[in-house]
């Protein structure tokens, strides 16, 4: 899901950085300092969960879970995702500092959109509705993130079209899996710990 | 999973102040990301190589990481030289390789490697806690800095919890396959990680309240900027001016 360092053009990087800065600033403003430990520890949980490799036929894929992050954290997903991306860059060299803005926008904007689209449904009565909200959330957030990646690459250079198409098509099964896993995870949370869905930011 | 930082023996880069290093990293990143001429990028890559040698990373770790982040670049090399229109330099059947495509991809490869090597040199010589303090000194908002600190601090704890849960699954003969049972089990694993983290974060908050946390950590030591730090900052600026001059 990361765009590597050195690929995007200057204007794309600057646009990404400005959008990310605005989103992070707003997310931080909405988050009161009491909820910093909660957002931080959940952000580390998502960091660890993104290292889980799920088999899909002969290959495997790792989870992204930005949709679920959006559902649980709301606007706070913006700073939480940026922090997780900084740590992935410094600990594993996935992505990096100059692409931090673009990558944050690609992951966090879908997260916040999912919060507004499916947040109410996920918090409503009934496990079936939560399952539906979860699937939609996982599927839509990953799709939007990939569209974001595609947009950033195509704005840099139109010739990226072929690799972008290959990445998009190969991710369709992964979108479905992300949906299934988000659905089950949300059902689990509804049964075991419904308080986790309460947002105080 | 071990997220401890890779650190070799102490060197010059280890001795520099974390704030100065942060400023240098930001300056170098901003300049290198915008370069496009091959000669300027070569100098930038050479400078990064000097830094990475100064960081004294274990060679094996270094090679594995360099290969890993070049995989994506290699994937792009498969397409871009052939799909970017331009003057033909090479032809296989109906596919023609353009000079513009090769030039564009050379730029990406050099830029990407220069940036990532510099990042590795920085991280291998600076403890994350020092970087967190440097962020505070550079007026990053408190809440963002604490969020960074908490996330980093608890990754290790939660990854231990993850290992414990995975062991529990293995003891019960869980084998990942491509089926709904596997996906449901992984989803519950994610759910359990989140529930445990949520409860842990409540305990942390109460513990902090008990100890009179008022929204900021006390500073134990004040670090001074040494002459070495100032000289390093000047050297970095001179190198960058040189690179920009070559870029033209």
Tell me, what's the ipTM? 0.92
A196 shares contact with chain B (CB less than 8 Å) = yes
Instruction: Please give the Cα distance from A123 to A197 (Å, whole number).
Output: 7
**Six-digit token pair at B152?**
């980093």
Which residue matches tokens 């988000």? A182
Residue B28 vs residues B17, B118, B133: alpha-carbon distances, Å: 16, 8, 21
Tell which A residues from 161 to 180 touch B, by Cβ distance under 8 Å: 161-163, 177, 180
Tell which A residues from 99 to 138 touch B, by Cβ distance under 8 Å: none
Q: How big is chain A by its Cα radius of gyration, in Å?
A: 16
- In this prediction, residue B220 carries a pLDDT of 62
Instruction: Please give the Cα distance from A9 to B34 (Å, whole number).
Output: 7
Answer yes or no: is pLDDT of A1 > 70.
no
- Contact between A180 and B151 using a beta-carbon 8 Å cutoff: no
Instruction: Please give the Cα distance from B166 to B41 (Å, whole number).
Output: 45
Mean pLDDT of B151-180: 93
Instruction: Please give the Cα distance from A27 to A6 (Å, whole number).
Output: 28
> Torsions phi, psi of A59, nearest 5?
-110, -175
- In this prediction, residue B1 carries a pLDDT of 39
Instruction: Please give the Cα distance from B159 to B2 (Å, whole number).
Output: 9
**Six-digit token pair at A78?**
């913006």
Which tens digits make up the pLDDT trace of B204-215?
989 988 988 876
Tell which B residues from 71 to 110 touch A, by Cβ distance under 8 Å: 72-73, 75-76, 78-80, 83-85, 101, 104, 107-110
Domain regions of chain A by residue span: 10-197
Residues of chain A with Cβ-Cβ distance to B198 below 8 Å are 38, 41-42, 193, 195-196
Which tens digits make up the pLDDT trace of B119-133?
999 988 888 888 888
CATH class of A10-197: mainly alpha
- In this prediction, residue B86 carries a pLDDT of 83
Which residue matches tokens 């040494």? B226
Residues of chain A with Cβ-Cβ distance to B73 below 8 Å are 4
- Which of A10, A35, A40, A187 has the highest number of chain B CBs within 10 A, making it the mutation to test binding with B? A40
- Contact between B151 and A80 using a beta-carbon 8 Å cutoff: yes
- In this prediction, residue A110 carries a pLDDT of 97
When pLDDT is cut at 50, 70 and 90, the band that residue B7 belongs to is low
Query: Cα distance from A56 to chain B (closest Cα, Å)?
Result: 5
- Is residue B88 classed as helix, strand or coil in its secondary structure? strand
Answer yes or no: is pLDDT of B4 > 60.
no
């Amino acid at each position: 899901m990361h765009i590597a360092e050195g690929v995007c053009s200057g204007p794309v990087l600057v646009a990404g950085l400005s959008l990310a800065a605005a989103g992070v600033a707003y997310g931080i403003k909405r988050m009161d300092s009491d909820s910093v430990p909660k957002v931080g520890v959940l952000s580390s949980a998502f960091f660890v969960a993104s290292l889980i490799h799920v088999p899909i036929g002969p290959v495997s894929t790792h989870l992204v879970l930005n949709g679920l992050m959006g559902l649980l954290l709301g606007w706070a997903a913006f700073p939480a995702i940026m922090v997780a991306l900084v740590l992935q860059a410094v600990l594993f060299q996935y992505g990096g500092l100059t692409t931090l803005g673009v990558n944050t926008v690609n992951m966090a904007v879908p997260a916040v959109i999912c919060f507004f689209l499916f947040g109410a449904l996920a918090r409503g009565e009934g496990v079936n509705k939560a399952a539906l909200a979860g699937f939609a959330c996982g599927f839509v957030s990953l799709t939007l993130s990939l569209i974001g990646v595609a947009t950033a690459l195509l704005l840099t250079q139109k010739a990226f079209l072929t690799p972008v198409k290959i990445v998009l098509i190969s991710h369709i099964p992964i979108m479905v899996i992300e949906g299934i896993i988000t659905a089950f995870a949300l059902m689990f949370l509804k049964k075991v710990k419904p308080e986790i869905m309460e947002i105080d930011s | 999973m071990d997220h401890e930082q890779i650190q070799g023996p102490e060197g010059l880069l280890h001795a520099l102040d974390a704030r100065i290093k942060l400023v240098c990293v930001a300056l170098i990143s901003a300049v290198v990301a915008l370069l496009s001429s091959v000669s300027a990028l070569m100098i930038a890559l050479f400078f990064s190589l000097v830094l990475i040698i100064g960081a004294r990373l274990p060679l094996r770790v270094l090679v594995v990481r360099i290969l890993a982040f070049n995989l994506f670049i290699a994937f792009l090399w498969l397409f871009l030289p052939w799909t970017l229109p331009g003057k033909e330099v090479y032809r296989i059947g109906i596919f023609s390789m353009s000079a513009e495509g090769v030039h564009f991809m050379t730029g990406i490869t050099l830029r990407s490697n220069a940036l990532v090597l510099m990042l590795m040199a920085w991280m291998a010589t600076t403890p994350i806690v020092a970087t967190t303090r440097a962020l505070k000194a550079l007026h990053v908002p408190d809440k963002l800095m604490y969020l960074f600190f908490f996330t980093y601090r608890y990754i290790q704890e939660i990854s231990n919890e993850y290992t414990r849960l995975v062991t529990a699954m293995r003891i019960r003969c869980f084998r990942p396959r491509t089926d709904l049972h596997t996906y449901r089990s992984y989803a519950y694993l994610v759910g359990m990680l989140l529930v445990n983290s949520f409860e842990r974060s409540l305990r942390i908050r109460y513990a902090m309240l008990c100890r009179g946390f008022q929204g900021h950590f006390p500073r134990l030591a004040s670090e001074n900027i040494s002459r070495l730090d100032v000289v390093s900052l000047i050297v970095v600026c001179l190198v960058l001016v040189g690179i920009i001059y070559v870029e033209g």
